[in-house]
């Protein structure tokens, strides 16, 4: 049965990929986006070229506008909330804007869902940054990466929250609100604590979307700065695998409602951001890459990889695209679309 989907941030990287998937299978979709990000107009144009302008609705709006989002959500069966401020560094420079976009914005979208009277499924894109620096977890250093000493399967959902940065605070506020709207109002909400997501339609910049940014910068011969020692480890997840998890959570809402899931590549798909990724990238582009070095940035975890066993057990989900294949696919997309950069 066809559902009405409202996707906030629907012209962003994750949003446009999800809207494409939804339209391809015949769902009714409304994009709600303020088009503040440089890539958003390009993503919208791509969707129009793929499906035509009349295939979906576009509302130019900001999640900080409570009345506008409430009006836009009135007919929604599913709300996928992806809109927000996305960079730790930006949150440090302008914490008020970060708070209003992420904490207040998420509250506004939740209220829109509650007041619609339709009890829509609500999927929230949270972040691994809600776990903060995880200073209580012992690490050890290897030649090309940092690693957890004892968390063999990665960080579980039971790890204490310790937001650490304005971005972590604002996303964590949303995270907690989304969970409590399931408890207090019986709204079927699902929190997705996402690791590093990468893939096509990602117009990465230095502050956010590092996998895409390094590939774009290397191919376009732009300056690259590595902050910290370059051995910071992340579990990276290809966007198609993330969207599979969204679909499964919505399909199995009787299981997922009120739940929190870590979504990342897990311990099988980890990579250090430069000590390991740098050589891979040099091999892909067939050239040496010169980089500048900078100090550690606030809130930068030496290690994060998620324990994804809860999503595997409850949703039957697992990543299908490994690091090697995913990076090659993203590189191929960048090469085919150099005109976009």
Q: Is-contact 238 329, C-beta < 8 A?
A: yes
Backbone angles phi, psi at 186, to 5 degrees: 60, 30
- The C-alpha atoms of residue 234 and residue 264 are separated, in whole angstroms, by 9
CA 146 to chain centre: 23
Q: Is-contact 63 35, C-beta < 8 A?
A: no
Pairing assessment for the beta strands 139-141 and 233-238 based on DSSP bridges: unpaired
Contacts of the segment 333-336: beta carbons below 8 A, 24+ positions apart:
333/199, 333/200, 333/201, 334/212, 334/215, 334/216, 334/219, 335/219
Catalytic residue among 5, 18, 124, 167: 167
Q: Is-contact 84 63, C-beta < 8 A?
A: yes
Q: How far is CA 147 from CA 15, 41, 131, in A?
A: 31, 39, 16
- The C-alpha atoms of residue 263 and residue 245 are separated, in whole angstroms, by 8
- Annotation marks residue 167 as catalytic: yes
- The C-alpha atoms of residue 253 and residue 315 are separated, in whole angstroms, by 10
* Alpha helix stretches (DSSP H) within 222-315: 239-251, 253-256, 277-285, 309-315
3 state SS of 162: coil
Q: How far is CA 263 from CA 156, 189, 303, 318, in A?
A: 10, 16, 16, 9
CA-based R_g, the chain, Å: 19
Nearest in space to 92 (alpha carbons), one of 298, 295, 232, 294: 298
Q: Which residues are catalytic?
A: 167
């Amino acid at each position: 049965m066809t559902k009405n989907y409202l996707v906030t941030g629907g012209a962003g990287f994750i949003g446009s990929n999800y809207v494409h998937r939804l339209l391809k299978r015949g769902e009714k979709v409304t994009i709600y986006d303020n088009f503040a990000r440089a890539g958003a107009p390009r993503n919208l144009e791509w969707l129009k070229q793929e499906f035509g302008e009349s295939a979906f609705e576009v509302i130019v709006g900001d999640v900080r506008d409570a009345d506008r989002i409430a009006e836009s959500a009135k007919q929604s069966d599913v709300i996928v909330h992806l809109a927000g401020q996305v960079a730790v560094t930006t949150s440090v420079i302008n914490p008020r804007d970060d708070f209003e976009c992420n904490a207040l914005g998420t509250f506004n979208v939740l209220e829109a869902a509650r007041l619609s009277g339709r009890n829509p499924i609500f999927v929230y894109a949270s972040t691994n940054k809600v776990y903060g620096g995880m200073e209580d977890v012992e690490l050890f250093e290897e030649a090309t990466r940092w690693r957890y000493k004892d968390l063999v399967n990665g960080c579980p959902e039971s790890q204490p929250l310790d937001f650490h940065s304005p971005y972590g605070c604002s996303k964590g506020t949303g995270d907690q609100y989304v969970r409590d709207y399931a408890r207090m109002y019986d709204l079927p909400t699902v929190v997705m604590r996402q690791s590093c997501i990468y893939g096509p339609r990602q117009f990465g910049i230095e502050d956010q979307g590092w996998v895409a940014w390094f590939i774009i910068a290397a191919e376009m011969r732009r300056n690259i700065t590595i902050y910290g020692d370059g051995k910071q480890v992340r579990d990276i997840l290809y966007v198609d695998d993330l969207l599979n998890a969204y679909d499964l959570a919505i399909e199995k809402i009787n299981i997922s409602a009120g739940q929190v899931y870590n979504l990342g590549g897990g311990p099988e798909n980890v990579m250090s951001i430069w000590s390991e990724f740098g050589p891979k990238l040099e091999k892909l582009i067939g050239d040496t890459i010169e980089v500048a070095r900078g100090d550690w940035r606030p809130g930068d975890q030496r290690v994060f990889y998620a324990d994804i066993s809860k999503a595997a057990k409850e949703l039957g989900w697992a990543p299908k695209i490994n690091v090697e294949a995913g990076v090659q696919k993203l590189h191929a997309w960048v090469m085919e679309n150099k005109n976009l950069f």
